[in-house]
Amino acid sequence: MPLYSRRTLLSTGAAAGGLLVAASQTYAGTYDNVRDASQTPGPHDPREEALNPDELNPLSTDHGNLGTLKYSFSESHNRHTDAGWAREVTVRNFPISKEMAGVDMRLPKGAVRELHWHKPAEWAFMTYGRARITGIDAQARKFVNDVKAGDLWFFPSGIPHSIQGLEPDGAEFVLVFNDGNFSEDSTFLISDWVRHTPPEVLAKNLGVPASAFANIPKKDLWIFNAPLPGSLAGDLAQSSQPMVPDSYSFPLMDQPPIRTKSGTVRIADKNNFKASDVMAAALVEVEPGGLRELHWHPTSDEWQYYIQGTARMTLFAGEGRANTVDFAPSDVGYVPRALGHYIENTGNDVLRFLEVFHVGQYADLSLTSWMANTPNELVAAHLNIDEKIVRDLPRVKTPVVPT
């Protein structure tokens, strides 16, 4: 195993151990109340139960079984090379995730995700480090740019591209594809195509001698080590073609957020990230005790990625069905289109997570806004509450509500 992999696994194991201890301490009361000889004397896994307290001991408002609502990258098979690794969450291991699949990829300094393309669109969020990304569009216009932690990129369906980790320590990022069946192992690789094309055809096509292809790779590169690139300006100068009209990268953290007393929301969709015309996202931060308000999304399923902190979500599916699930860093959550839900910060740190959608326009509907902007007496009659409560609700949306 490469040295960087051993370090990564050791640090990841230590972090997971710390998370388990913290979770066990946080939910010790819940666990002790449920786990006793008279109620559950059989085999059990304290590690999983400590991380999933609201499934072990459901809220009194929960009812029914909505299936598996989360899956962790930490549980996914990790494909290693000498240069980097990737692990994925798809419909194969997370059946509810029919419309989107996700990949967590690590490229140390110099490591390259081989030049490739694929049928689904690719949306990405940089969680760590720096990388250089390249691509071209159907008019042979070029794209080369450097991205850092907090930046996004988007490559439309079929657009060829590459990613390389930069100094000082490469990059890690999360990719989301608008097809739940997509696998990072099933892409169109330049080395694979060239290897399966006769050399004389390559020579005729490119106008070079067939001998130029005597040393092409004998197997797929996928992720491999390469020399670090030169300056960004130098790479751009190598082609006289114009840049793509709408950048494939987007500095999300440079955008002014929607800010409330208990958090922020930064939205990236086709209105401000014009290249991303078939996918949209929001980066949400919730202060301790705060709540991503009760809401639903009318036009798309929601793929979630938890970056920092701990949370719980209750998903309402109608017909009296509701389930609650807990989240920690590296977890993926999923909410089918139009199902009501909230996300609550259950820890002592800021909760930070992504909401990703397979449509270009971000949209949500708020329970509070619905109630506040419907005739007061009508809402009060439905819920048997004081009409003054409805009158005092905020008329504008507050995506993160105060502690």
Question: 374 by DSSP, 3-state: which?
Answer: coil
Radius of gyration of the chain (CA): 24
Question: In 3-state terms, the chain is what percent helix, strand and coil (to 5)?
Answer: 20, 35, 45
* Residue pair 123/113 in contact by the 8 Å Cβ criterion: no
The DSSP 8-state label assigned to residue 134 in this structure reads E
| 295 annotated as belonging to a binding site for a ligand | yes
Of residues 114, 172, 287, 355, which has the active-site annotation? Answer: 355
Return the number of other C-beta atoms located less than 10 Å from residue 222's C-beta: 20
Token pair listed for 1: 């195993």
| 167 annotated as belonging to a binding site for a ligand | no
Q: How many helices (H) and strands (E) does the chain have?
A: 10, 25
Question: 355 by DSSP, 3-state: which?
Answer: strand
How open is the CA angle 317-48-45, to the nearest 5 degrees?
Answer: 125
| 341 annotated as belonging to a binding site for a ligand | yes
| 184 annotated as belonging to a binding site for a ligand | no
Token pair listed for 42: 């059989």
| 122 annotated as belonging to a binding site for a ligand | yes
* Residue pair 399/291 in contact by the 8 Å Cβ criterion: no
CA distance 400 to 262: 6
CA distance 120 to 166: 26
To the query of whether residue 355 is one of the catalytic residues in this protein, the response is yes
Q: Choose among 259, 264, 277: nearest CA to 352.
A: 264
How open is the CA angle 276-260-310, to the nearest 5 degrees?
Answer: 75
CA distance 150 to 189: 27
In order, the DSSP letters of 185-242 are: TS-EEHHHHHHTS-HHHHHHHHTS-GGGGTT--SS--SEEE-PPP--HHHHHHT--SP
CA distance 314 to 339: 10
Task: List strand residue ranges (DSSP E) for 15-82, in order.
Answer: 70-72, 78-80
Return the number of other C-beta atoms located less than 10 Å from residue 339's C-beta: 18
| 77 annotated as belonging to a binding site for a ligand | no
Token pair listed for 192: 């694979």
| 118 annotated as belonging to a binding site for a ligand | yes
The binding site consists of 116, 118, 122, 161, 295, 297, 302, 341
The binding site for Mn(2+) consists of 116, 118, 122, 161, 295, 297, 302, 341
Task: Catalogue the active-site residues.
Answer: 355
